[in-house]
Structure 1
């Protein structure tokens, strides 16, 4: 079995149906060539200053760069892309029926940006251990009842079976937690630069080994349920001045929006408020922010 590749004129429903079936999908030409070139130019100098990983999971011949929203404006192009943002909404913004007093209401969920990384896998790197990304929250399968994450990996350079293209086990999102993933069950993500792999948090995957003579560079991000703790701490990684320069939808996705009913509120002048007010009113921000 191989991963299904869709063209950029695919609909959100097309992506949703394939991911529901396989656990992941490739979208060809997700970014235009000019955006891709600018993204690469922004990130390469910063990646060149990053040290190698220190263990098997992060890689000892792999460079990883986080806090992408302070390194490139094109991080916003990825997270707000209609196909990625749209399919993440389909999986994540499900309503939960709850009682409040004498009424039973449908409480919607919202989304937030969980993790952001540029990942450069160099020749000689071994395969990353297979894992599910939603394990960061100790998520159970199928007891979780819903998806916690929709992740994307944009190919900045070509991904092949030989250069470390992400390995995925199609269908593994349906497994329970007793079944262990095996390397022989994986298929490589093979896609041209500017294409993207989109998968859900319950799908087993891992970075591939690089037996080629060139590095493989990708940019990954996640959109997660808004009521879970973010994997990457954007409040410490991104100066508030940087966040103020981003489009408001991105500010909200970075965590400056409370999750219904009001998880993540902040007190401003004695009022339980949406945290985004701290970006709009500099006088309300705590000193030193």
Structure 2
């Protein structure tokens, strides 16, 4: 049975990207700084403890889930902007695509965006979650280009006994006719502060918690910018909170335009709404495609 590759937070980006593309998953130990981990527990822990259990068997009858994390904690920001995560996602998903506009052949590169955020607590007695692919939400066919790169932060220690995420390395290379089996999974055992990164086409699921203590985690996903976000970030994060975030995170939340022309407002980059009044925005010449004027080929 293949094991999950483990690296430290100072690992080379090329090594992380190479492992993700080949195996589909990797563990990065020491990913979150201790003050970040403490801040997440301070902000999310009490709310998570008051949350009810999920109603569906898929989400877990002994599992607590808390969403809208960018509204609830600023300590999520250093997770999504950690270079081994963000830059890996960019390297893997932001592949140039060519198209024809008239007789001009142009090349565009899609953006990426924050899709879903959740804190997850698996309590004692929770069984295994059904194995699944997260990119199935977008009805993706496999094998194929990656459209999601996901992060799972261990807020508490992950063990094989307390519900560590179960992963099938390499399963993003499978076609859609091959079913996953628990016998093929590897538990992502890791200390608190570590993360599991995996691609959207990898089969995985929460493990069973046979211990007497909860297993707590935080997950967030980055998707291609031309796909609908799993969690509606425009409703999840109030405008006043968005204005307090770095521009890079604002754009990742969706205040951005994905080439060749998705997500615009009044044919403009929607991020301008956070910087200018509507009257100021009206004075800006529209540029829908966001590529400038393509050359005319006669």
Q: Report the TM-score, using the length of structure 1 for normalisation.
A: 0.94
SS of corresponding position for 2:263:
coil
Cα distance in 1 for residues equivalent to 2:104 and 2:164: 50
**Which residue number corresponds to residue 89 of structure 1?**
90
**Which residue number corresponds to residue 139 of structure 2?**
138
Structure 1 residue ranges without an equivalent (≥5): none
**Which residue number corresponds to residue 286 of structure 2?**
none
Matched, 1:164 2:158: no
Q: Deviations over 1:265-285 (max 9, x none)?
A: 011xxxx11111222235569
Cα distance in 1 for residues equivalent to 2:279 and 2:208: 49
**Which residue number corresponds to residue 63 of structure 1?**
64
Cα distance in 1 for residues equivalent to 2:57 and 2:30: 31
Question: Contact 1:169 / 1:205 at 8 angstroms: preserved in 2?
Answer: yes
**Which residue number corresponds to residue 278 of structure 1?**
273
Q: Deviations over 1:182-204 (max 9, x none)?
A: 11111101000000000000000
Cα distance in 2 for residues equivalent to 1:198 and 1:33: 19
**Which residue number corresponds to residue 173 of structure 2?**
174
Matches within 5 A, 1:1-289: 1-142=2-143, 145-267=144-266, 272-281=267-276
Cα distance in 2 for residues equivalent to 1:68 and 1:239: 11
Q: Aligned-pair RMSD on alpha carbons?
A: 1.2
- How many correspondences in the alignment? 279
Structure 1 residue 136: Cα displacement: 0.3
Structure 1 residue 238: Cα displacement: 1.4
- The 1:209/1:247 distance shift into structure 2, 3 A limit, reads same
Question: Contact 1:130 / 1:205 at 8 angstroms: preserved in 2?
Answer: yes
Question: Contact 1:114 / 1:221 at 8 angstroms: preserved in 2?
Answer: yes
Larger deviation, residues 160-169 vs 98-107? 98-107
- Which one has the largest radius of gyration? 2
Structure 1 residue 241: Cα displacement: 1.1
Cα distance in 1 for residues equivalent to 2:216 and 2:172: 25
Structure 2 residue ranges without an equivalent (≥5): 281-298
- The 1:282/1:62 distance shift into structure 2, 3 A limit, reads farther
Q: Deviations over 1:17-64 (max 9, x none)?
A: 111121100001001112111111111011122110011111111111
Cα distance in 1 for residues equivalent to 2:256 and 2:44: 27
SS of corresponding position for 2:76:
helix
After TM superposition, the runs of 4+ consecutive aligned structure 1 residues lying more than 3 A away are 282-285
Q: Report the TM-score, using the length of structure 2 for normalisation.
A: 0.91
